[in-house]
Amino acid sequence: MLSMRLLCCLAVLACLSGCAVSVHPLYTNDVLVSEPALAGTWEAVAGADGKPRNISLTFRKCENENGKAVPGSYDLEMVRGTKVSLWKAYLVKLDDDLYLDMCPSKVVVKPQTYPEFMLRLHMICRLTVAQDKLTIHYRHDMGRLFRAIKKEQIAHIRRGEQVVFT
């Protein structure tokens, strides 16, 4: 009986250690792309509202155990003031647009720091990299992704205003 409980506990822990496998994923590995201009540190000048931001993003290419770059895979360090958060980020090309799928590397221990990321949930944004400028488009400027969702081309469920990819 004890071994069955131990086995169940280990199974639950294994499930909680990473992201859940999706029945209908937003993308597959064949659409992951690398963007050489993305690697490095980006400092925020201003938000969409024109107010100054104290945010920096550092993208580092992920490598496999042989030291080779993993296509479309980045380690992302986000610094907001004195708060640092670590993310896994995947760069996806859908049609002509680039999307960044980000997931916290660790569950946040202090919920008052980043309450929206207490769980390892994904955040998806569209981005453009042109010359020395990185532009991240959240929610209101997601173009093709939202049109595909509205046309039911991407499997999902709705929870109020939220779209959940299953």
State how far the Cα of 89 lies from the Cα of 62, in Å rounded to an integer: 9
| 149 sits in which H/E element | helix 144-150
The candidate with the shortest Cα–Cα distance to 80, out of 124, 49, 44, 120, is 44
| DSSP single-letter state for residue 122 | -
Q: Is 137 in contact with 150 (CB distance < 8 Å)? A: no
Q: Quick one: residue 67, left, alpha or beta (phi over 0 = left, psi -120 to 50 = alpha)?
A: left
Query: What are phi and psi for residue 114, nearest 5 degrees?
Result: -140, 75
Given this model, what pLDDT does residue 84 score? 85
Q: Specify the DSSP class assigned to residue 115.
A: G
Q: Which of the two residues, 109 and 25, has the higher pLDDT score?
A: 25
Within 10 Å of residue 132's Cβ, how many Cβ atoms? Answer: 7
pLDDT of res. 28: 77
The pLDDT value given to residue 59: 95
State how far the Cα of 56 lies from the Cα of 43, in Å rounded to an integer.
Answer: 4
**Closest Cα partner for 55 from 67, 42, 65, 66?**
42
Share of residues in the chain with pLDDT > 70 (%): 57
The HSE-up count of residue 63 (CA atoms within 13 Å, CB side) is 5
Q: Which of 69, 72, 125 is nearest to 97 (CA)?
A: 125
Q: Which domains does the chain have, with CATH numbers?
A: 23-141 (2.40.128)
- Amino acid identity at 149: I
- How high is the pLDDT of residue 90? 92
In this prediction, residues 66-92 reach a mean pLDDT of: 88
For the question of whether the overall pTM of this predicted structure is more than 0.75, the answer is no
Mean of all residue pLDDT scores within the chain: 72
In DSSP terms, which residues pair with 136 in a beta bridge? 127
